[in-house]
């Protein structure tokens, strides 16, 4: 059996975390199968908007063949627009597809109905959500639905051979993309912990929109450490055009290797972030995280029993829960694929 696991649509590097985790999970569950990584829609990967560019692009997804195609991630809102041609064709060839760690939050009712009709016409052999909102929205449209979890929450168990390292001092992760990085402080003489770090938010320079103000971030005073811990900034948006943003602050980490981020986080003490998956991977790797944002995508936390709505957004890992959800998801996959 040939199993293709999509792993290329990285709107930011965080997409690679749940895709790699799912890939290694499938390899473990099907040791005798040919499990390989596949391409996703090139429009999604590179945000193509012009017809001539789309025409010139070699969309390898159209030519890949497998017994089972595994699509994953925040895919539901674009299922018809980006997969609406691919899925019918693979079914016509006698192949099948499934949706695992799928998310489709905050979708209007009219669009949800159209997506449901598409799923009924071209049913996946297995559907597993990564948040309860998505499960409830689509469970009645597919033959098999499972109220699953984001596979990034499982990567502490699924990812092999993650390494750790030490810097000159212990460090914690700071990762922000909707606001300027806050100023961190601790009571005098105390070492920084997830509980005692105080966060002071800042308005952008001249009240400019953040997307503009971030270009001036290098001119702000920056912290290198607080409470005897270094601050490491992980950047999830990959680009080479804006290095004045990428390296505006001390200890900025950016890489084209999604797995290396996991090793940075595994080597850290804790994470403070407004990014869902920056906090998810910290928890998945056994470290606490503090989430400072409101978004429907935070249903990932709710599904795992991580309460970000209390205790100032501070959450603690629960590896027993991770093991339980990994076992349940694995059993469901094996039952239907």
Question: CB atoms < 10 A from the CB of 164, how many?
Answer: 11
Question: CB atoms < 10 A from the CB of 170, how many?
Answer: 16
What tokens appear for 175 in the block? 């990762």
| DSSP structure string for 65-114 | --SEEEEEES-GGGHHHHHTTHHHHHHHTT-EEEEEEE---S--HHHHHH
pLDDT at position 311, please?
A: 94
**Hey, which bits of the chain come out as E strands?**
2-6, 34-38, 68-73, 96-102, 126-129, 145-146, 171-175, 183-185, 198-200, 225-226, 229-234, 252-253, 271-273, 289-291, 314-315
pLDDT at position 206, please?
A: 83
**Hey, which bits of 103-178 come out as E strands?**
126-129, 145-146, 171-175
Chunk the chain into consecutive blocks of 10 residues (it has 337) and report each block's average pLDDT, rounded to whole numbers: 95 95 98 97 89 93 96 96 96 98 96 97 98 97 98 97 97 96 95 97 88 89 96 95 94 96 98 98 98 94 96 97 98 98
Of the candidates 281, 321, 282, 335, the residue with the CA atom closest to the CA atom of residue 21: 281
Q: Where along the chain do the CATH 3.40.50 domains lie? A: 2-148
Q: Count, in order, helices (H) and strands (E) of the chain.
A: 14, 15
Of the candidates 258, 239, 267, the residue with the CA atom closest to the CA atom of residue 173: 267
| pTM, two decimal places | 0.96
Of the candidates 140, 93, 150, the residue with the CA atom closest to the CA atom of residue 119: 140
CATH topology of domain 2-148: Rossmann fold (3.40.50)
């Amino acid at each position: 059996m040939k199993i293709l696991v999509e792993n290329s649509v990285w709107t930011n590097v965080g997409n690679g975390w749940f895709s790699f985790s799912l890939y290694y999970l499938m390899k473990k569950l099907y040791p005798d199968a040919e499990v390989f990584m596949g391409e996703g829609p090139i429009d999604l990967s590179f945000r193509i908007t012009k017809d001539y560019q789309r025409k010139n692009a070699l969309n390898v997804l159209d030519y890949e063949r497998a017994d089972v195609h595994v699509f994953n991630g925040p895919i539901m809102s674009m299922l018809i627009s980006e997969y609406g041609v691919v899925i019918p064709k693979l079914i016509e060839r006698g192949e099948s597809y499934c949706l695992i760690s799928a998310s489709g939050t905050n979708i209007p009712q009219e669009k949800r109905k159209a997506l449901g009709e598409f799923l009924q016409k071209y049913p996946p052999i297995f559907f597993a959500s990564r948040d309860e909102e998505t499960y409830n929205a689509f469970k009645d449209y597919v033959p098999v639905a499972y109220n699953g979890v984001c596979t990034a929450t499982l990567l502490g168990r699924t990812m092999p051979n993650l390494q750790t390292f030490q810097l000159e001092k212990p460090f914690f992760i700071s990762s922000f993309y909707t606001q300027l990085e806050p100023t961190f402080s601790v009571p005098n003489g105390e070492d920084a912990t997830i509980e005692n770090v105080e966060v002071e938010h800042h308005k952008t320079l001249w009240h400019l929109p953040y997307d503009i103000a971030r270009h001036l971030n290098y001119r702000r005073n920056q912290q290198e450490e607080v409470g005897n811990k270094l601050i490491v900034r992980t950047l999830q948006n990959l680009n080479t055009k804006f290095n004045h943003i990428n390296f505006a602050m001390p200890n900025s980490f950016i890489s084209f290797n999604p797995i290396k981020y996991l090793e940075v986080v595994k080597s850290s003490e804790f994470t403070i972030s407004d990014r869902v998956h920056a906090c998810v991977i910290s928890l998945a790797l056994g470290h606490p995280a503090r989430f400072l944002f409101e978004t429907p995508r935070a249903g990932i936390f709710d599904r795992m029993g991580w309460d970000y709505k209390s205790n100032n957004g501070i959450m603690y890992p629960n590896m027993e829960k991770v093991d339980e959800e990994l076992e349940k998801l694995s059993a469901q996959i094996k039952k239907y694929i």
